Amino acid sequence: MEEHKITLWGAADLRDFDTPRDETGQGFSHAIAWAVPMVAPIMASIQNGPNRAYADEYARVNYHINNLSVELAGKIKNQGFRSLSLGASDRTDTIHIKGDFPHKTAATRAGLGWIGRHCQLITRPFGSWVRLGTVFTDMDLPHGPPIEKNFCGNCRRCVDACPAKALTGKAWVPGVPRESILDARACDQWKKQHYFKYHRGHNCGICSAVCPYGLKILKKK
């Protein structure tokens, strides 16, 4: 992590979760989770909708995460442990609009942040202006306490800004189903109808752009 200048990362205990399985059919007890910050001025520029700079930054950070994931998984295997990398933004279930495992779950269990009303991870150092990486392993890693509380207070800025009206406004607590916070289908349809030119409708980012935790970081910089 130091070599790749990753400053926000940790280990998650996932023994109570159904993780993806490797080629032997076995799941994993732990994961290493990390966050890569997006360029703050670019994030601030999409409060009214995505643009080409954001689409390029989204692709750049995902590429960086995927390379790091493969490298880290390989190094763990070289130490004699099992590992499996989770691709950034891989949508493997198109019906339910989700991947093999939520990066956000690993991140909250690793203590990196909490889930905001926009159904995205919010971190103290970077707000929600991050992309997430996850590598599963059976290595028994030391881990701190997970974050099980949200710190959004009464803020509803992301809810009010969502053009798809896909956010319910309900606060996150561990174990709450995604559907109680986000109408993923409404979000997906809006992006495909209005922002298809950006990665075939996979980009929006408005809810994250207006989050005060991100804007606070921008003001500090």
* Residue 221 confidence (pLDDT): 65
* Residue 219 confidence (pLDDT): 80
pTM: 0.95
Q: For residue range 61-83, what is the model confidence (pLDDT) as tens digits?
A: 999 999 999 999 999 999 999 99
- Residue spans per domain, the chain: 8-220
* Residue 57 confidence (pLDDT): 97
Q: For residue range 40-56, what is the model confidence (pLDDT) as tens digits?
A: 999 999 999 999 999 99
On whether the CB atoms of residues 133 and 88 are closer than 8 A, the answer is: yes
220: tokens are 């500090």
Q: Per-residue confidence at 201, pLDDT binned at 50, 70, 90?
A: confident
Q: Per-residue confidence at 93, pLDDT binned at 50, 70, 90?
A: confident
